[in-house]
Amino acid sequence: METTRTGLGRTLQLHRFWQAVEKGVTLERALEIALGSPFPRKTESVLLEDAAGRLLAKDLASKVDDPRFDNSAMDGWAVRKANCKDTGSILRIVGTSQAGSSTTPSVGKGEACRIMTGAPLPEGADSIVMIEDSSTEGERVTINGPARTEYIRKKGENLVSGAIALVAGSLLTPAATSLAATMGHSELEVVSKPKIAVIGVGDELTPPGEPLADGAIYESNTYGIASLVRKMGGSPVRFEIIQDTTELLREALDEAAESCDAIITSGGVSMGEWDIVRILMEAEGDIGFWKIMMRPGGPPLFGTWKGTPVFGLPGNPVSSHVVFTVLVSQWISKCMGADLVSGPRMANRVRVIMEEPLKGAPGKLCFRRISIRQEGDSLVGSTSTHQGSGNIHSMVAHNALSLLPPDTDSRIGATIDALWLI
Ligand code: AMP
Ligand code: MG
């Protein structure tokens, strides 16, 4: 939106702010609002060998039948089933069908062709006998076991030429990459990695490794957030730490809006007079929502700065991590066009039996950090460390987040929903 700084412009903006900004929204609503301002989806072509971990941009059709021809699933003998009814049948060996051979002898009555796994089925044969079920002597083979049609892999039984086996928005997992190769593709059209600016804001923040002045702490969020962005298929651009001054923040946001597809800030979104991300976004940006009914991670905002989407995440390390996990990750996924089933995700939703009581939050969806382990047929949840939103160790010492509905505590033995982090 236009950001005139005249008195009138500012009045209009404040007026618009109070009208348009939704405050204290649910997580679902937060996602809906953020999806109203997606980053543009771009695509590019990459070599298959560089495609692993990327998101497929277009449905992919097979260029071939898979298998390309009827072939053997076993090392053994290609035979006519009718000739192997009796144990001890003796057949005449007519030759060998090897994987890769283009011509194979045909199998007639009373004959057998030696065959390797993956080799084409000779003309005239309708079954395979496993090598283990045979013995040979010169040009003759004695069949001591069953001749099975099931040991033949039929042409096109996995895929027929033209079939779409990988849909647009699929994550190119190792198996998907292998499948793309099976289908004959050497290059794939993938979704371009969105460039996402990651900006840490706070006077107290010092890069790790540097001497700490009194009252200073090591800056950690931009490292965590950048790595989360990477995990979701984005390309993070970490900016220098911004002091709590609107001038510096404005410059950084301008640069980020110019050079990146989206912006994530950390810190400075609460109620305080030094919470300059909120203050600057209110005055000169365009805010969609402020505050989500969740704990931890209540204070975030979403809006745009000169048209570029901005997530203002809270400074508390657990809060920013959790908000990314449950909200920003989904937004990135959807903006990139990820498939719901085969796209990337940060967690699987599961049901867990709690070993300990868990305290929920009044009016808020509560994400306590828990550890999930398998015990017999059940998933069991427990907690170990201090749960404060400043304690990033709690995200390392646990592997999941509770999904306690607003105003709900959980007692020992209760079954709750949880997000098992990947
Ligand atoms: P804020 O949201 O700016 O009020 O910050 C909340 C808490 O998070 C404060 O204790 C900050 O020192 C801390 N914090 C803010 N930004 C970061 C960061 N980038 N890395 C580590 N801690 C931070
Ligand atoms: Mg701060």
Neighbours of ion ligand 2 (CB under 5 A): 202, 267-268, 315
Which residues contact ligand 1 via a Cβ below 6 A? 200, 202, 204-205, 217, 219-222, 266-268, 270, 314-317, 390
In angstroms, the CA 102 to CA 354 distance is 61
**Residue 105 CA to ligand 2 centre (angstroms):** 79
DSSP assignments along 81-147, one per residue: GGGGSSTTEEEEEEEEE-TT-S------TTEEEEE-TTPBPPTT--EEEEGGGEEEETTEEEE-S--
Which tokens belong to 411?
A: 């007692």
Strand locations in 211-328, DSSP E?
217-218, 235-238, 262-266, 286-292, 294-295, 301-305, 308-313
Nearest listed ligand to the Cα of residue 219:
1
Angle at the Cα of 272 from the Cα atoms of 269 and 275, rounded to 5 degrees: 40
Burial of 156: CB neighbours in 10 Å, binned 0-12, 13-18, 19+: middle
Are the beta carbons of 149 and 127 closer than 8 angstroms? yes
Query: At 2, which amino acid appears?
Result: E
Among 210, 217, 278, 391, residue to substitute to test ligand 1 (most atoms within 8 Å of Cβ): 217
ω into residue 362 within 30 of 0, thus cis? Answer: no
Handedness of CA 105, 106, 112, 117 (dihedral sign): positive
Nearest listed ligand to the Cα of residue 266:
1
- From atom 10 of ligand 1, which residue's Cα is the shortest distance away? 316
Q: Tokens 């989206």 correspond to what residue?
A: 262
- Per-residue pLDDT reduced to its tens digit, 44-74: 999 999 999 999 999 999 999 999 999 999 9
Among 218, 222, 266, 290, residue to substitute to test ligand 1 (most atoms within 8 Å of Cβ): 266
Exposure string over 330-368, b if 16+ CB within 10 A, otherwise e: bbbbbbbbbbeebbbbbbeeeebbbbeebebbeebbbbb
Ligand 1 atom with the smallest distance to the CA of 220 is 20
**Residue 344 CA to ligand 2 centre (angstroms):** 32
**Residue 203 CA to ligand 1 centre (angstroms):** 10
Q: What is the model's pTM?
A: 0.90
Phi and psi, residue 231, nearest 5°: -60, -30
Contacts of the segment 104-108: beta carbons below 8 A, 24+ positions apart: 107/78, 107/79, 107/80, 108/80
Per-residue pLDDT of the chain (422 residues; tens, 9 = 90+): 334 444 444 444 454 555 579 999 999 999 999 999 999 999 999 999 999 999 999 999 999 999 999 999 999 999 999 999 988 999 999 999 999 988 889 999 999 999 999 999 999 999 999 999 999 999 999 999 999 999 999 999 999 999 999 999 999 999 999 999 999 999 999 999 999 999 999 999 999 999 999 999 999 999 999 999 999 999 999 999 999 999 999 999 999 999 999 999 999 999 888 899 999 999 999 999 999 999 999 999 999 999 999 999 999 999 999 999 999 999 999 999 998 888 889 999 999 999 999 999 999 999 999 999 999 999 999 998 788 899 999 999 999 999 999 999 999 999 999 999 99
Ligand 1 atom with the smallest distance to the CA of 319 is 8
Summary count for the chain: helices (H), strands (E): 9, 28
In angstroms, the CA 268 to CA 299 distance is 9
Which tokens belong to 310?
A: 């901005």
Nearest CA-CA partner of 302 in 86, 30, 96 = 30
In angstroms, the CA 383 to CA 401 distance is 10
Nearest listed ligand to the Cα of residue 312:
1
Are the beta carbons of 229 and 95 closer than 8 angstroms? no
- From atom 19 of ligand 1, which residue's Cα is the shortest distance away? 221
- Per-residue pLDDT reduced to its tens digit, 29-51: 999 999 999 999 999 999 999 99
